[in-house]
Structure 1
Amino acid sequence: MDIIVPKAGLTMTEATVTTWLVAEGEKVKKNDTIAELMTEKMTIEVEAPESGVIVSIIKQEGEEVLVGETLATLHTTHSYRDEKENIALPSANEVLKSPSNETASPGYDAAVIGGGPGGYLAALRIAQLGGKVVLIERNELGGVCLNAGCIPTKTLLKGAELTKIHTFSSEFGVYYPPPTIDFAKLMKKKETLIQQLQKGISHLLKKDKVTVINGVGEIVSPNKVKVTKSNGEIETITSKNIILATGSEAHIPNIPGLKNAKPWASKEALSMTELPESIAIIGAGAIGCEFAGIYAPFGVKVVLIESENEILPGADLDVAQFLKKSLKKDGVEILTSSQVKEIKEENGEKTLYIEHKDHYKEIVVKEILVATGRKARLEKLKAIGLEEENGGVMVDESLRTSIPSIFAIGDITGKENLAHVASAQGMVAAENCMGYQKRMNYELIPRCIYTSPEIASVGLTEKEANTKNLDYQIGKYYFNGNGRALTNGKAEGFVKVVRDKKYNQILGIHIVGTNASELISEGVLAINLEATTEEIAATIHPHPTLSEGLLEAALASMGKGIHV
């Protein structure tokens, strides 16, 4: 039986676990107080729903929990519930080790904990290589990417893009009235796509004979995983290798009043069926900019707040400034060099007190979305001796942790919180589990932001080239001179190439414009193959296509531009 976070009051949504009064394996009676939680307003006692034995404590002291989340699991039988009978409870050892409660699985080549884009791909690859593999996932297959990240946001961004058709279709002699928005239907479309892709993953795993267990996996030794299933049963898995792919969760900054204002993270934002009247987005990285690009076209008043001097910190400056203009055109108010100092909620409105450059500013909105990054899920890992680094599990180039039989991939490594990086790491870890010698290269990672227009980059920015004291030259080509972009009616944006002068090697490529995320793959391949700008120039590109932009930018970087 699951012991869940109770809802104490109409407005309660979350709490913090302050004290556990019992331990795993301890006997409890019905209505015994087993834990204490703290909210903004009060302390809540959690009682045992039945008599039994505590099998596992899932949420640790200090962790934040949501109403309805599972705190612990309880082993109980029908006889325990009949309090009129004086039946002795079995010992903790009997419950935790008895055949009725715990089973031992046969050995595997690999046990993968986490079924996100890194975990399920690693499991598939191991199976393809002839390995016996088990995949453990506590929620839904696909992880944050499929269920509360990449796929849901791209669905909503498509809806936002469709609201703009009437603004340029008249140029082609096609007229549409201004759109009406059925946001609930769009969210239903999002759910349909998620379920379709989940079924696809499940089919692939079944086809390749991957054993899938729905439950919480916990490493108890270098070759053993304890899985607590949703029904309270425990299965012990032995495996030659273990791959950790437990992902990350939203990082909520410590701003006075923020928790009391009940902010959204991306998960909450993607579960709403009604649009907010107004919203403040704290953080103007990729996630913050994408949500601004979702809400503004739907008519929501959006304020985008960033502590750095420019949005998209770390991105190419030309690209960031171009997107800034585009977001402002959609009606987004952007505050850079701004720190949120305090938040107060009153009468259903939330006031943000912001230090903006050299003065203070107040913003009043209905909702707040926090987009200040994500943090790795590292709970219970210190106990087994895994070393940490930069907020994640320390891994080498082969994705091996400080314990040789344990690998880590995805957001938990603290490297790059990108789904395609997790997938690439999953492939490397899987093949190393099966005896291959593979290494991960982080220099060739494409970074895509699915705003309107899209942004995609790979390699060095100008700032990074300067920091490395490289002798470089840039070439830039604007899509307003591209035939296909003009016929599409979407000619905003450019391609920028950073070229090493001495060897003509391509150091970086940055694209802003329609389908930038599709165009960047040629750039990734070029840098992977250490291609020169001459080789790009000698490659015939079809006409008319957007891909001609890379050809023109490569030529321009050598001072040989044709259509610039």
Structure 2
Amino acid sequence: MSEPEHLDVLVLGSGQAGNLMAWHMARSGYRTALVERRWIGGSCPNIACMPSKNEVWSARVAHLVRNAGHFGTLTTPGQIDMGQVRQRKRDMVSGEVAGFLEGFKSSGAELIRGSGRFTGPKMLEVQLNDGGTRFLTADKVFLNIGTHSAMPDVPGLEAAKPLTHIDILEIDYVPPHLIVLGGGYVGLEFTQAYRRFGSAVTVIDAGPQIISREDADSAEAIARILSGEGIRILTGAKILKVEGSSGKAVTLTLQTGDGEERIEASDILVATGRVPNTAGIGLEDTGVALDERGYIRVNERLETSTPDVWALGECAGSPQFTHVSVDDFRIVKDNLAGGTRSTKDRLVPYCLFTDPPLAHVGLSERDAQRQGVSVRVAKLLTHAVLRAHTTDEKLGFLKVLIDDNDHIVGFTMIGAEAGEVMAAVQTAMLAGLPYPKLRDAVIAHLTMAEGLGPLLGNVPAKASVPEFA
């Protein structure tokens, strides 16, 4: 083996946290290199968050055009050009990748295109994409290697070559009948999008409800919305076998509460979870420990079991959101400068980008019950928000959880602009404001956030405490 090149900082994986760390360290004067085998910028701008929301928006435009007559605009029935849908997505991705490449150029961090495998603690062998090998070692190593789609162990499924979230972004046709395996966030966003493009869509989930981490009322509301658009949803269903080839013709045999059923379709999308990209890269030679699911074990400072090796983003078991990966970077960056930041108790919001979207921050009712937190719950139908009357976006509800100290500890909204409304509530939570401060705030009319006033006005009074002589 050639003598390894010595670096100050080595980053494996070009996800959000990895890029930010490489650029920051290089700008701070450290000799820094980042190794990435394929996706410059990571999954978010290439194959996940941004391209999927790009196509979700195209589907929303198709839906609005189809229903334009309701708003007084007369149109002829439109056709879907999936080639153009794909091209709009590709153009956006190209622009995003160019921005990441500029980040490497301006920071001085070296971008190495290739596949890395550890041969010892902080020693990496890189098979370069254009041929050849480089051997690297560094004082500090940052792992930002992400996850990939899980493939359920179902007879015939893998042989049917189903679509993943990556593949479906590249198809140039509207599937006549798309089966979506998995009722989670990724699956449901594509479910509604492809229904709006014109596909018949069936969602199959093994659990008792879709979006399993949400409270039952949220899952039921989203199910009603999707069903109202003609989407069939099967929960508590076990797939027994798959026959055929996705993209041509497939048949699924499944067991439901009503017995055995066969479903024929044209395409299958698998969206049943994620698997960390920790296998086959030599981590066993580094002393970096994994948990029982294959994620890298880290402490609250995102340090691994090997000194001067950190793990960032999904591979560290962090919540699988880009904004969390960015915060992972900030935590490690500040701690390297002598700070004491940690992942403990951070307030992580998220959105499901269906139409209307679901937004959530803090505790759910189920979380509060499990943790023994006493809460008062208030709800308001989105229909009661006057803004919704002007746009006809009346589906959904707002829900807030208030603790015994009058603080907001959880918020969920299904409705137009839910993510923006949630950000206002999150700000109040971070500031520790008693809920009457937000209830009595003068919020602009006509906005969806205006609904926070009547929502918080519905908070039940505190239970009276009996007095004893």
**What is the TM-score when the length of structure 1 is the normalising length?**
0.77
**Does the aligned pair in 2 maintain the 1:456–1:517 contact within 8 Å?**
yes
- Determine the C-alpha separation between the residues in 2 that align with 1:442 and 1:134: 32
- State the match for 2:177 in structure 1: 278
- Determine the C-alpha separation between the residues in 2 that align with 1:368 and 1:394: 34
**Does the aligned pair in 2 maintain the 1:283–1:372 contact within 8 Å?**
yes
- Determine the C-alpha separation between the residues in 2 that align with 1:424 and 1:443: 9
- Determine the C-alpha separation between the residues in 1 that align with 2:73 and 2:245: 47
Among residues 417, 424, 430, which one is paired with 1:522 in the alignment? 424
Q: Once structures 1 and 2 are overlaid, which stretch shifts more, 325-334 or 165-174?
A: 165-174
- Determine the C-alpha separation between the residues in 2 that align with 1:331 and 1:241: 53
- Choose between structure 1 and 2: higher strand proportion: 1
- Determine the C-alpha separation between the residues in 2 that align with 1:407 and 1:338: 40
Greater relative contact order, per chain length (Cα 8 Å cut-off, separation 6+): 2
**Does the aligned pair in 2 maintain the 1:168–1:489 contact within 8 Å?**
no
- Cα displacement (A) at 1:543: 1.6
- Cα displacement (A) at 1:435: 4.1
- Cα displacement (A) at 1:203: 1.6
Counterpart check, 1:407 vs 2:310: yes
Q: Once structures 1 and 2 are overlaid, which stretch shifts more, 408-417 or 234-243?
A: 234-243
- Choose between structure 1 and 2: higher helix proportion: 2
**Does the aligned pair in 2 maintain the 1:119–1:245 contact within 8 Å?**
yes
- Determine the C-alpha separation between the residues in 1 that align with 2:115 and 2:245: 39
Counterpart check, 1:361 vs 2:264: no
Q: Once structures 1 and 2 are overlaid, which stretch shifts more, 409-418 or 168-177?
A: 168-177
Alignment of 1:10-25 (within 5 A): none
Counterpart check, 1:206 vs 2:114: no
Counterpart check, 1:468 vs 2:371: yes
- Cα displacement (A) at 1:443: 4.4
- Cα displacement (A) at 1:390: 4.3
- Cα displacement (A) at 1:106: 4.6
CA 1:281/1:512 → structure 2, altered by over 3 Å: closer, same or farther?
A: same
Q: Please report the RMSD computed on the Cα atoms of aligned residues, expressed in angstroms.
A: 2.1
- State the match for 1:492 in structure 2: 395
- Determine the C-alpha separation between the residues in 1 that align with 2:237 and 2:411: 30
- Cα displacement (A) at 1:130: 4.9
**Does the aligned pair in 2 maintain the 1:123–1:430 contact within 8 Å?**
no
- Determine the C-alpha separation between the residues in 1 that align with 2:151 and 2:384: 44
Bigger radius of gyration among the two:
1
The one-letter code matched in structure 1 to 2:25 is I
Query: What SS class does the counterpart of residue 174 from structure 1 fall into?
Result: coil
The one-letter code matched in structure 2 to 1:231 is D
Query: What SS class does the counterpart of residue 378 from structure 1 fall into?
Result: coil
How many residues are aligned here? 458
For residues 55-86 of structure 1, what are the alpha-carbon distances to aligned partners after superposition, in whole Å with 9 as ceiling and x for unaligned? xxxxxxxxxxxxxxxxxxxxxxxxxxxxxxxx
- Determine the C-alpha separation between the residues in 1 that align with 2:458 and 2:367: 20
**What is the TM-score when the length of structure 2 is the normalising length?**
0.92
Structure 2 unaligned blocks of 5 or more: 463-469
Alignment of 1:412-427 (within 5 A): 412-427=315-330
- Determine the C-alpha separation between the residues in 2 that align with 1:420 and 1:151: 13
Counterpart check, 1:552 vs 2:451: no
Query: What SS class does the counterpart of residue 436 from structure 1 fall into?
Result: coil
**Does the aligned pair in 2 maintain the 1:478–1:549 contact within 8 Å?**
no
For residues 73-120 of structure 1, what are the alpha-carbon distances to aligned partners after superposition, in whole Å with 9 as ceiling and x for unaligned? xxxxxxxxxxxxxxxxxxxxxxx42xxxx7x44532x21111112211
- Determine the C-alpha separation between the residues in 2 that align with 1:314 and 1:346: 32
- Cα displacement (A) at 1:323: 0.8
CA 1:265/1:172 → structure 2, altered by over 3 Å: closer, same or farther?
A: closer
**Does the aligned pair in 1 maintain the 2:160–2:245 contact within 8 Å?**
no
- Determine the C-alpha separation between the residues in 2 that align with 1:346 and 1:287: 22
Counterpart check, 1:322 vs 2:322: no
Counterpart check, 1:240 vs 2:143: no
Alignment of 1:429-508 (within 5 A): 429-441=332-344, 443-500=346-403, 502-508=404-410
Query: What SS class does the counterpart of residue 382 from structure 1 fall into?
Result: helix
**Does the aligned pair in 2 maintain the 1:453–1:512 contact within 8 Å?**
yes
**Does the aligned pair in 2 maintain the 1:141–1:201 contact within 8 Å?**
yes
The one-letter code matched in structure 1 to 2:355 is S
**Does the aligned pair in 1 maintain the 2:120–2:285 contact within 8 Å?**
no
